[in-house]
Structure 1
């Protein structure tokens, strides 16, 4: 149920003046007042409740009549509807109907019953649903015919809609005022007599006045007479014509002057009648200055365009020319009629139009820089190569508004680039032809070399040769190996020039590696009666991670050069630590030396220093190749030389220590292999050259392999099925079915897919080598075949255990039970010097001499020999020092 208006503060209500009551309430008060002067019949009429009820039923306000006991006497329809009541309340107490009425309101009722009047023009109250209603109410006494107070009358009018309309109007006025005050524009409203009826603070501030100062005044009271007359004339014209007008004018404010734009419009009422004018004035001084600056900038830009040799143009978003393009027309000879729209595309070479359209479409779709090169036809008909760049100018929404572009003539540069590209193609073709020739030449040379070196190795293993015959075989092998080295040098240079050389680092035993290099070069030095010294720092790592093949190639080249250019004196090979943990390799000789002006030239291909006799030895590629390899290792070969004194070559490299180094074959050299323990492996050799098959067969058969041969891939595939080998050694280039095809067939076969495959070829193309491994080969073995390398790969893939001709070791029990008797001090000192130099071969020779001195030294010699064979320098030192 809705609450009574008694919720309002009753004390405030008592203070309201009677003059503030509504016209409706006054009307009923008048009726009540007039009752005192009526005759008895009229009073009786009004006292008739039924008649009175009828009189108030349709009153425009809610009305209720109470007697002295606050019982309902009469109530109209609006009152009942307002409080959701029925006429059953007649005769009941007001306090019974509304028990929540407060004591304060009860006091007001009593005061009004005593003759007081209470009223309120606006009073809020809460309805049951929580909404707020606004009412206007009044409470006053009514009198009986004899003038006594018969009770009180309450009048209640709901003014919520009017209140809401007033609030809406107030908010609209506040919004309008906020808009007026927030704009930087001057806004004024004048009536038809020219008096200011409204304006914003900006307008008042412009004249250094207040809003109140200007309200009610006309222009003559605000502006100078001449300005006022002009403004009034314009205002009257607007009022007369009813037309809105906009114009620019120069005005002076209280503290500045400038250019303003003013818009005046008629001020109309709801019926369209003109009440005056509304004027807005905006300061556009900065904009006018910017427009002037832009005009000057455009003039300068236009002058720059006219002065430049480039073609500068602009188009619409899709690339259409819509304005005259003077520079374009001057270059192409196209008139505006010819180039407008997309007609400019006709000036592009027909062969370039499709590409140009594709690049343009991509830039257009992605709203990015358009960058291209194409040929553009000049006015004389010649097509010129042009570079074009165009930048999209975007709207605020990200769409393209226009393009600004530049064409630059690059014809001469482009012709030079084309000529250079053609020359490069010719050079690359020549280089390819050279590489192909070298590769083919290498293949043709390696094929017979495989037979020469292969049979030389077979004969070296023979037991039926005397020393002279063996010496001759060694010469054949050395000459063939030298020829192979020359071939490899030429191929290496070709690879390096093509930047196709890569380092392939592995873990290996460093002392064994160095000993092998030193011993190889020591023999050459001794043949020339040159002293060869090998000096090794004792703290060097046992295992390192590096490209063993390439490092050996560099060291042998430096040592070979030193020996070649030294006729007397010595060659010293030193390995030590340099700065920053790097290892230094140094080769010092007492040879002829190199002139200072030749120190750089000796590192160039085919360049050699020295007399003609020495220049005929080798290809002149060794130092060039070595320098490039060392550069790949992150270093450079340095040289210091004096004519007639000698030379020093050195380089410092980072060689990380290897966690698990792999012992070389030298570390496991226990004599010549003569058989296989507990096994007879089956090996199939597939090669179209009889000599190549024969070499492998004669190397393997004598030591226990069962060897079958096939003349090509088809034959090999048939032999695989028949012979069922454990390992296949195949060539690559063969008739009918090549090695690649054979490998694929084997790997695709369920029965033979796990057979080990070694690819052996004279092909030097790395693509062939990589491809052979990719299709399923396990190893690549280059021709000419080296016997020990072949044996190592066989042992690896077949898990073989060799039987050696000699066993220079003793059992653990023999070593434990045999007392070691050391040789004399002089021999011990010699051994100490040899081990400090890392000369393991010298240690073995010295051990042999000690064994000849006395049989009692043999256990010591065997122990020493075993340690030297294993390059166990620290164990050798411990053995020597324990017997000093």
Structure 2
């Protein structure tokens, strides 16, 4: 609608209204302009009364001419309040406009109008009223709405059909946007222009699609193709594209209209159908049954390979034929009658019958099921037949009947009581033994529960047990003493859930045995075993306790032997006799230690004392000790150490050395020719394997277990002159403490292999101690006179220490027991206390406790000296507060070392004579007598470095010429240099 001129261009409308129209040509022109205007026009005064209207206004709102002078609100009483507000705003001088508004007509209908409201002014400039300009756009609006609905319907249709619709120019190149294509493919407008849309087509389909489209455009033909199109996320979908040319009258192409339909679901369905058919065919061919499908004329529609093989033909030879074309007449007639019965009645049939092959031969017993083949509407299309070869099953059923008969015979022959119950506790089966125990015939028990056939309390107890078994599904074995009615005794019962082939619990199976006689025998055996164990423990305890009594006199013997060896007033014969006393005592101590080792193990009072040490050096020392003895017998000795083994380990070094030396010594002892091989390697599970192989005399198979028994020595008696027969027994017990066992393989005349595998933790830090000291005869203490208190209830024990210490400058006082010792501490105030453990009145543990609890004396050094063989006593003494442990018999050198260590002493040594000094500076050591060398060798083999130090002291006193040898020997022993010691005592090797 054209722009309305500003009201100021018009004359005063109010004055025109009061003027005779015929006298004013302008009024005539104005009113005629309004009346014949092509739009609706209405002019109102301030009271919204009509001053003038156009014919179009009257048409739009279905009004008559008599509205002039009437109120607009009287004509339209239901006009909305918003309109009244707009009118008032315009009467106040505002303008208003709406290009599409719904307005009610007087007849109640609605019209769509395009309206504009402007005020008109009086000559004075005041607003005289408003002018409303209206254009009826109802028809146009309806057309627009119709077009919009059609477009929405069209878009919905396209969306619902998953289609993409496009229009292309005659050359087939994209020049306009295809939003649906871009939305699916994710391409931009620039990317699809021209032939760019082909980039979204699968590479394998792209060339074919481009060629087909080019051909269709060239030939003006229908274009149709199925291809894969890439979605925005990269996944490809099958689409069907169809496009037809729209031709002009002259046959030229005006445009192409194309529709693309997403057929992914259809393609997937087709693929699924192919897979389903393939799967169905695989299933049909994989089943052991024979499956055929026939139509109502009896023609074969499909069958599996088993059925075809049974008929002796290929599947394709059978399809489309009937039984009369494939089988003997009688066989075909039989099958046809059966099939027609199914088709006629529509009822399934199942039979067991003999089937004949195509040549008429009977091929076993089959279970045949025939059912009508129906379509989705229930119409019968033919017959489906399935035949299962049950020949094996029939044979199995026969075997099952025989097995059941056999099982019943077994159940009846067993002395046990056997029962089978269902989930309700009803007896399903039982043997006659149980029926006799209950006191009723089997047929009176079947179908009943326990409370119906047994005393109520007893029956309820059994049923509760059964419910627990069936609820938990667990098998339970238990013993119980029963005394109910005629049932008395001790019974062993096993109850297990009874399950079907699917694993569902359907009842319970119980087996019970009367073990009253066995329990009585076990009780008697247990009593005998207990008595035997008590006797064994008593023996072990006796031996262990006897060690104290055995070691006490040995302490005196060996102690005074050491005191006499230090004397300067003995001639060589007297010194030799003292040496014999000391050596015999030491040998006796070794034998006692072997016996006590076994007794401690049997008494379970042995604990492994682990420490970190250098593994290769340890093994090398063991190997070198044994190599010399082997070479003395002209036996080859091979030592093999795996390079990947750890450098440091944590183990009981003493016990491990004891085991290895025992195994190696035995191998050398029983090998006269060939070799002994010592191998250390990794075994499974991260364990380390120690293996000793020899080419000795071997051990008979029946003797292999006996060799690990205490005091057992097998083989040639000439080889049994040494030892107690405890070595292997002790070694086996020690290895068992390491959670392992010694294994052996042996063959007479070939040799033996001993090995064991143990887990030895790797040690990151290991220490090889060295306590080197100048050697010489100790004659005093520099600048000190330490006070020593010796507490022991045995005079001879106190005397040994007293006579060892007082000559070199110690002030020694003695106490008979702990009580006297506590008193002497207060009186004597010693620097160091040496105390026994087992004493009357007040023992060593309590004495240590008192000392450590005392503010005045708690810092006194305490050395515990005891003949106890139990490591637990040694541990207890240290835990109680002792500083160190000195075993009895006391070794002088060990005593001196501990005193120097704890009291920080500096010894005074006897000066060497010029003769001795000259000997000491000789380049070559003079070896002591062979008896001393053999003693040293035995000590090295056992790893007894303390014994070597003590023996070095004895050798130094035999003759001054041995002093350099003894001094070097002691130094090497203090540094634990076993290989160097072996080289020293056997230089020719």
- Tell me the TM-score normalised to structure 1 length: 0.51
Separation in 2, partners of 1:455, 1:837:
24
In the other structure, the counterpart of 1:290 is 396
Separation in 1, partners of 2:933, 2:334:
120
In the other structure, the counterpart of 1:614 is none
1:281 aligns with 2:387: yes
CA pair 264-378 structure 1, distance change in 2 beyond 3 A: same
Separation in 1, partners of 2:266, 2:854:
97
In the other structure, the counterpart of 1:244 is 348
Q: CA deviation at 1:307?
A: 3.6
CA pair 488-169 structure 1, distance change in 2 beyond 3 A: closer
3-state DSSP of counterpart to 2:790: strand
Q: CA deviation at 1:778?
A: 5.2
Measured against aligned partners, the alpha-carbon deviations of 1:183-241 in whole angstroms (never above 9, x if no partner) come to: 1444444455x433622244454434566665666555555565555545544554455
Aligned residues between the structures: 625
In the other structure, the counterpart of 1:759 is 864
Q: CA deviation at 1:251?
A: 1.0
3-state DSSP of counterpart to 1:324: strand
Separation in 2, partners of 1:102, 1:604:
102
CA pair 265-161 structure 1, distance change in 2 beyond 3 A: farther
Q: CA deviation at 1:727?
A: 3.0
In the other structure, the counterpart of 2:273 is 172
3-state DSSP of counterpart to 2:724: helix
In the other structure, the counterpart of 1:254 is 358
Aligned pairs for 1:467-866 within 5 A:
496=598, 500=602, 626-629=724-727, 674-687=779-792, 696-697=801-802, 699-707=804-812, 725-734=830-839, 738-743=843-848, 756-763=861-868, 767-769=872-874, 771-773=876-878, 775=880, 777=882, 779-782=884-887, 790-791=895-896, 793-795=898-900, 797-798=902-903, 800-803=905-908, 807-808=912-913, 837=930, 864=961, 866=963
Separation in 2, partners of 1:228, 1:243:
21
CA pair 342-681 structure 1, distance change in 2 beyond 3 A: farther
Measured against aligned partners, the alpha-carbon deviations of 1:736-786 in whole angstroms (never above 9, x if no partner) come to: 764234546767999988865322235455643454356554554455656
1:333 aligns with 2:444: no
3-state DSSP of counterpart to 2:370: strand
Separation in 2, partners of 1:839, 1:308:
74
More displaced, 790-799 or 259-268? 790-799
Q: CA deviation at 1:705?
A: 1.9
Q: CA deviation at 1:729?
A: 1.1
Query: Do the aligned residues in 2 keep the contact of 1:682 with 1:725 (CA within 8 Å)?
Result: yes
The runs of 5 or more residues in structure 2 that have no matched partner are: 1-145, 148-156, 176-193, 196-211, 610-616, 626-631, 638-652, 663-668, 677-708, 712-719, 733-753, 755-767, 935-957, 970-981
Query: Do the aligned residues in 2 keep the contact of 1:604 with 1:624 (CA within 8 Å)?
Result: no
Q: CA deviation at 1:132?
A: 4.5
3-state DSSP of counterpart to 1:422: helix
In the other structure, the counterpart of 2:219 is 108
Measured against aligned partners, the alpha-carbon deviations of 1:32-65 in whole angstroms (never above 9, x if no partner) come to: xxxxxxxxxxxxxxxxxxxxxxxxx99xxxxxxx
In the other structure, the counterpart of 2:301 is 198
Which has the bigger relative contact order, CA under 8 A and spacing at least 6? 1
The runs of 5 or more residues in structure 1 that have no matched partner are: 1-56, 59-76, 110-117, 144-148, 514-535, 555-574, 583-602, 606-621, 635-653, 655-659, 821-830, 842-860, 879-884
Query: Do the aligned residues in 2 keep the contact of 1:442 with 1:487 (CA within 8 Å)?
Result: no
Query: Do the aligned residues in 2 keep the contact of 1:135 with 1:156 (CA within 8 Å)?
Result: no
CA pair 779-228 structure 1, distance change in 2 beyond 3 A: same
3-state DSSP of counterpart to 2:837: coil
In the other structure, the counterpart of 1:559 is none
Query: Do the aligned residues in 1 keep the contact of 2:429 with 2:446 (CA within 8 Å)?
Result: no
3-state DSSP of counterpart to 2:428: coil
CA pair 814-423 structure 1, distance change in 2 beyond 3 A: closer
Separation in 2, partners of 1:400, 1:741:
67
Separation in 2, partners of 1:868, 1:453:
23
Query: Do the aligned residues in 1 keep the contact of 2:237 with 2:262 (CA within 8 Å)?
Result: no
Measured against aligned partners, the alpha-carbon deviations of 1:254-296 in whole angstroms (never above 9, x if no partner) come to: 3661222222333333333444443333333333333433443
Separation in 1, partners of 2:959, 2:563:
30
Q: CA deviation at 1:329?
A: 0.8
CA pair 312-862 structure 1, distance change in 2 beyond 3 A: closer
Query: Do the aligned residues in 2 keep the contact of 1:697 with 1:707 (CA within 8 Å)?
Result: yes
Separation in 2, partners of 1:209, 1:581:
76
Separation in 2, partners of 1:630, 1:95:
102
Measured against aligned partners, the alpha-carbon deviations of 1:843-873 in whole angstroms (never above 9, x if no partner) come to: xxxxxxxxxxxxxxxxxx9873645766999
- Tell me the TM-score normalised to structure 2 length: 0.46
Query: Do the aligned residues in 1 keep the contact of 2:552 with 2:888 (CA within 8 Å)?
Result: yes
In the other structure, the counterpart of 2:532 is 427
Measured against aligned partners, the alpha-carbon deviations of 1:805-847 in whole angstroms (never above 9, x if no partner) come to: 784565758987x9x9xxxxxxxxxx99x97756799xxxxxx
Measured against aligned partners, the alpha-carbon deviations of 1:74-104 in whole angstroms (never above 9, x if no partner) come to: xxx99xx977468xx9xx8676877769764
Separation in 2, partners of 1:257, 1:374:
58
Alpha carbon RMSD of aligned pairs, Å? 7.1
CA pair 777-398 structure 1, distance change in 2 beyond 3 A: farther
In the other structure, the counterpart of 1:272 is 378
In the other structure, the counterpart of 2:185 is none
3-state DSSP of counterpart to 1:759: strand
Separation in 2, partners of 1:103, 1:869:
114
Separation in 1, partners of 2:363, 2:985:
106
Aligned pairs for 1:218-233 within 5 A:
227=331, 230-233=334-337
Separation in 1, partners of 2:850, 2:517:
57
Q: CA deviation at 1:326?
A: 0.6
In the other structure, the counterpart of 1:306 is 412
Query: Do the aligned residues in 1 keep the contact of 2:238 with 2:267 (CA within 8 Å)?
Result: no
Separation in 2, partners of 1:292, 1:199:
35
3-state DSSP of counterpart to 1:864: helix
Q: CA deviation at 1:680?
A: 2.3
Measured against aligned partners, the alpha-carbon deviations of 1:392-428 in whole angstroms (never above 9, x if no partner) come to: 8988988888887866676656544443332232233
CA pair 283-391 structure 1, distance change in 2 beyond 3 A: same
CA pair 628-211 structure 1, distance change in 2 beyond 3 A: closer
More displaced, 236-245 or 439-448? 439-448
CA pair 753-218 structure 1, distance change in 2 beyond 3 A: farther
CA pair 345-137 structure 1, distance change in 2 beyond 3 A: farther
3-state DSSP of counterpart to 1:323: strand
Q: CA deviation at 1:324?
A: 1.4
Separation in 1, partners of 2:835, 2:308:
105
3-state DSSP of counterpart to 2:358: coil
Aligned pairs for 1:258-407 within 5 A:
258-309=364-415, 323-326=428-431, 329=434, 332-333=437-438, 381-383=487-489, 386=492
CA pair 334-737 structure 1, distance change in 2 beyond 3 A: farther
Separation in 1, partners of 2:283, 2:358:
20
